[in-house]
Amino acid sequence: MAQFRTCPDTGLYFHKSAESLIKANAVAAAVALLVAGLLGLLVVLTRWQAVHLLPADQFYMALTAHGIDALIFWIIFFEMAVLYVASSVLLRCRLATPAWGWVQFLLMLVGAVMTNVAIFQGSSSVMMTSYVPMQAAPHFYLGLILFAVGALIGCFIFFGTLVVAKQEKSYEGSIPLVTFGAVTAAIIAVFTIASGAIILIPTFLWSIGYIAHIDAEMYRVVWWGMGHSSQQINVAAHVAIWYLIAGLVFGARPMSEKVSRGAYLLYILFLQLACAHHILVDPGISAEWKVFNTSYAMYLAVLASMIHGLTVPGSIEVAQRGKGFNNGLFEWLRKAPWENPVFSSMFISLVTFGFLGGITGVVMGTEQINLIIHNTIYVPAHFHATVVTGTTMAFMAVTYFLIPVLFRRQMILPGLAKLQPYIFGGGMTILVLFMLGAGTLGVSRRHWDMDFTGAALGFDYPGMAYTLMGIGAFGGVIGVIGGGIFLLITVGSLVFGKKLEPSAGLLQSFGFPLAASCYTDKRPETLPRAAPLPAGHHTSSFEAPGTFVLALVLLVTFVVYYFINWKYLASVWQLS
Amino acid sequence: MTSFMPPADRIWWKVPVGREEIVWILIALTWCLIMFFMMPYWHIYGKQNLSNEAYQTTPAKFGAKVQEGIDQYKTGEEAGVPIIHPPAGSDVYMLGRLWQWWPILELEKDKTYRLHLSSMDWQHGFSVQPININMQVVPGYEMVLTVTPDQSGEYGVVCNEYCGIGHHTMVGKIYVKE
Ligand code: HEM
Ligand SMILES: [Cu+2]
Ligand SMILES: [Cu+2]
d(CA A225, CA A12): 37
Q: What is the pLDDT of residue A538?
A: 53
Is there a domain that residue A245 lies in?
A: yes
Terminal CA-CA length for chain A = 68
Same domain, yes or no: A257 and A230: yes
**Residue among A300, A264, A99 nearest A187 (CA):** A264
B123, B131, B156 member nearest A216 (Cβ): B123
Q: SS3 of A376, please? A: strand
Does residue A545 lie in a domain region? Answer: no
| SS3 annotation, chain B | CCCCCCCCCCCHHHCCCCHHHHHHHHHHHHHHHHHHHHHHHHHHHCCECCCCCEEECCHHHHHHHHHHHHHHHEEEEECCEEEECCCCCCEEEEEEECCEEECEEEEECCCCEEEEEEECCCCEEEEEECCCEEEEECECEEEEEEEECCCCEEEEEEECCCCCCCHHHCEEEEEEEC
Say yes or no for a CB contact (<8 Å) between B12 and A257.
yes
Judge if the beta carbon of residue A479 lies within 6 A of ligand 1. yes
* Ligand 1 atom at shortest distance from the alpha carbon of A377: 15
Residue A447, ligand 1, Cβ within 6 A: yes
On whether both A386 and A514 belong to a single domain, the answer is yes
- Which DSSP string do the residues of A272-333 spell out, in sequence order? T--GGGGSTT-TT--HHHHHHHHTHHHHHHHHHHHHHHHHHHHHHHHHHHHTT--STTTHHH
pLDDT, greater one: A297 or B104 = B104
CB A112 within 8 A of CB A73: yes
Is A227 near ligand 1, meaning CB less than 6 Å away?
no
Judge if A401 and A489 occupy the same domain: yes
Contact check, Cβ <8 Å, B51/A576:
yes
Domain definitions of chain B by residue range: 54-177
Alpha-carbon gap, residue A143 to A157, rounded angstroms:
21
What is the whole-number distance in angstroms between the Cα of residue B166 and the centre of ligand 2? Answer: 8
Q: Does B131 touch chain A if contact means CB atoms closer than 8 Å?
A: yes
Q: Check pLDDT > 70 for residue B141.
A: yes
Instruction: Please report which helix (H) or strand (E) contains residue A567, including its range.
Output: helix A545-570
Pocket test for ligand 1, best of A34, A42, A43 (most atoms within 8 A of CB): A43
Q: Which of A217, A455, A527 sits opposite B141 (nearest CB)?
A: A217
Q: Is A476 in the pocket of ligand 1 (CB under 6 A)?
A: yes
User: Does A71 contact ligand 1 (Cβ within 6 A)?
Assistant: yes
What pLDDT is stored for residue A89 in this prediction?
Answer: 95
| Identity of the residue in A258, A298, A544 whose CB atom sits nearest the CB atom of B15 | A258
| Residues A170 and A181 placed together within one structural domain of the fold | no
For ligand 1, whether the C-beta of A75 sits within 6 Å is yes
Ligand nearest to the CA of A448: 1
- Judged by DSSP in three states, A15 sits in strand
Q: Which residues of chain A have pLDDT under 70?
A: 1-2, 272, 504, 534-541
With respect to residue A206, please indicate whether it lies within any of the assigned structural domains. yes
Nearest CA in chain A to B151: A573
Nearest chain A residue to B101 by CA distance is A457
**Local structure of A237: helix, strand or coil:** helix
The DSSP output letter for A68 is: I
pLDDT band at B12 (very low <50, low <70, confident <90, very high): confident
User: Which residues have CB under 8 Å from A393's CB, separation 6+?
Assistant: A345, A346, A348, A349, A352, A421, A424, A425
Decide if A368 and B143 are in contact by the 8 Å CB cutoff. Answer: no
d(CA A359, CA A180): 26
B67 part of contact set with chain A, CB < 8 Å:
no
Q: Is A520 left (phi over 0), alpha (psi -120 to 50) or beta?
A: beta
Model-level ipTM above the cut of 0.90: yes
pLDDT at A1: 58
Question: Distance from the CA of A223 to the center of ligand 3, in angstroms?
Answer: 19
What's the Cα-to-Cα distance from A357 to each of A162, A352, A430, rounded to whole Å?
32, 6, 13
Report DSSP state, residue A210: S
Q: Tell which residue, A344, A336, A320, A332, has the closest CA to residue A394.
A: A344
Say how many Å lie between the CA of residue A147 and the centre of ligand 3.
29
Maximum pairwise Cα distance, chain B: 80
Interchain contact, A452 vs B145, CB within 8 Å: no
Whether residues A379 and A472 share a domain: the answer is yes
Do residue A305 and residue A428 come from a single domain? Answer: no
Domain membership flag for residue A566: no
Helix or strand run (H / E) with residue A550: helix A545-570
Q: Would you say the CB of residue A61 lies under 6 angstroms from ligand 1?
A: no
In chain A, which residues have their Cβ closer than 8 Å to the Cβ of B39?
Answer: 291, 295, 366-368
Flag whether pLDDT at B2 surpasses 90.
no
Tell me, yes or no, whether A13 and A127 share the same domain: yes
Residue closest to A302 by CA, chosen among A342, A270, A328: A270
**Ligand 1 contacts CB of residue A40 (under 6 A):** yes
Residues A157, A286: one domain? no
Beta-carbon separation of B18 and A543 below 8 A? yes
Residues in B closer than 8 angstroms to A65, CB to CB, are none
User: Which pLDDT belongs to residue B1?
Assistant: 52
Domain B54-177 belongs to what topology?
Immunoglobulin-like (2.60.40)
Chain Cα centroid distance, residue A391:
3
Residue that terminates a domain, selected from A303, A336, A369: A336
Q: Same structural domain for residues A429 and A326?
A: no
Rounded CA separation A447/A470 (Å)? 15
Q: Which atom of ligand 1 lies closest to the CA of A476?
A: 5
Could you tell me the pLDDT band of residue B11, with boundaries at 50, 70 and 90? Answer: confident
**Could you tell me if A51 and A189 lie in one domain?**
no
Looking at the structure of chain A, the number of domains it has is: 3
Looking at the structure, tell me whether residues A290 and A189 fall in a common domain: yes
The number of beta carbons lying within 10 Å of the beta carbon of residue B16 is: 11
> Distance between the two ends of chain B, CA-based, in angstroms?
70
Range of the domain at A442: 343-452+459-521
Cα B166 to ligand 3 centre (Å): 7
Cα B69 off chain centre by: 22
Q: Name every chain B residue with its beta carbon within 8 A of the beta carbon of A561.
A: none
Structural domain includes residue A326:
yes
Residue A546 included in any domain: no
Q: What are the angstrom distances between the C-alpha of A391 and each of A242, A346, B89?
A: 10, 9, 49
The pLDDT score that the predictor gives to residue A536 is: 56
Tens of pLDDT along A36-83? 999 999 999 999 999 999 999 999 999 999 999 999 999 999 999 999
- Span B43-84, pLDDT tens digits: 999 999 998 899 999 999 999 999 999 999 999 999 999 999
Ion ligand 2: residue ranges with CB closer than 5 A: B 124, 159, 163, 170
Contact B15 A575 (CB under 8 A): no
Strands B81-84 and B104-108: parallel
Whole-model pTM? 0.96
Mean pLDDT of B75-99: 95
Q: Assess contact for A89 and A13: CB atoms under 8 A.
A: yes
Spatial contact of A444 and B158, defined as CB atoms under 8 Å apart: yes
Beta bridge partners of B126: B135, B159
Say yes or no: A332 and A363 in one domain. Answer: no
pLDDT, residue A533, reads: 73
Q: Whose CA is nearest to atom 10 of ligand 1?
A: A44
